[in-house]
Amino acid sequence: MHVNRDQKGAVPVFLLNALSLLYKTAALIHLKAKSLKPAGSGDALVISVDSLSFGGTGKTPAIRKIGEVLQAAGIRFAIITRGYRSRAESGSTEVKIDQQPGEVGDEALLFKEWFPSMDVYSGRRRVASIQKALKKNNRVILLDDGFQSTHIRRDIRIMLFNPNQPYYYLRHFKFLARGETLLFTLRGSAGPGIRGRPADGTYEFRIHRCRRAGGEVHDLKGEPLLAFSGLGDNRRFQESLAGFQIREFVGFPDHHPFSQDDLEYLERRRRELGADYLLCTRKDFIKIRSLDLRSTPLLYITNRIVFNYDLEGYLLKRLSIPG
């Protein structure tokens, strides 16, 4: 059973197409105007990880994958993210490991926890963040969703594409396929590419590990679960749990700031359904861990992104590093 606590309803495709024309016209003029004077980024290589929808395609695990390649090669890099719905969103803030999601954003904290020795900046003032990163001798800049940052020189664009999400129509620009762009289509989705531009490959998500709230690894063995998430594409996470015994799935809005009331609602439903655990994603857990979990059996899952493309070889070659 699926329970949707996100009040946004589905919009008919014909209406999306009409809205898309208006959106694209205004957005294209805005983006082209910003691109007339692109800001420099010194000698750093700028990699922008983008999507053709407004969330849920996997930008966060893709940045983690790229970061792991760079870290293993000994390359210093910085990650720049927006900090959506956080107090840092309007500016440019260097992220510290002990901050809270409301201060810098859930994704920013995930990046800092994954790469504690690297620099992470949160906020819309991306040019300011790039300047800070350059002063700390970062060789690579990773832009989280640099789609609208046409005022910044982007050397590589890694574009994730899921045509099963109707909202991708709003960002379906033909000119995005030009330049040094790698286009990846979600495996199993409809369509090989965009407007005659074939995809360079496909990608998929795999469950990497399940942990208890205290961090201990937990091996799921068929226990009944109540699963929930607040992602850009909750359905995708729900479908990834097909091999588990899910009594009910509850979807929240993307970047939902979980409260103690939310947790009490979920715990009440868990008991009513006779489920052994609540189950969420790592991204959700980072916003829940500060709540009172003493009476809540909670597990979280980490997903990893897998490309059927030698992304590591491509990046090392682009950086002139022997594989």
Which tens digit of pLDDT belongs to each residue from 120-171? 999 999 999 999 999 999 999 999 988 767 678 889 999 898 877 655 545 5
Question: What tens digit of pLDDT does each residue of 176-194 get?
Answer: 444 488 989 888 765 555 6
Q: Do both 200 and 264 map to the same domain?
A: no
Hey, what are 229's tokens? 């998430």
Q: Do both 80 and 140 map to the same domain?
A: yes
Largest distance between two CA atoms of the chain: 59
Q: Read off the pLDDT of each residue in 76-102 and give the average, rounded to a whole number.
A: 95
Q: Do both 166 and 20 map to the same domain?
A: yes
Establish if 83 belongs to a structural domain.
Answer: yes
Q: Do both 143 and 231 map to the same domain?
A: no
Q: Read off the pLDDT of each residue in 205-233 and give the average, rounded to a whole number.
A: 94
Q: Do both 257 and 282 map to the same domain?
A: yes
Range of the domain at 148: 12-204+306-318
Establish if 6 belongs to a structural domain.
Answer: no
Q: Do both 105 and 249 map to the same domain?
A: no
- Percent pLDDT > 70 in the chain is 79
Compute the distance between CA of residue 188 and CA of residue 176 in angstroms, rounded to an integer: 23
Q: What CATH number corresponds to the domain at position 189?
A: 3.40.50
Question: Quick check: 9 pLDDT over 60?
Answer: no
Compute the distance between CA of residue 5 and CA of residue 224 in angstroms, rounded to an integer: 21
Gyration radius of the chain's alpha carbons: 20
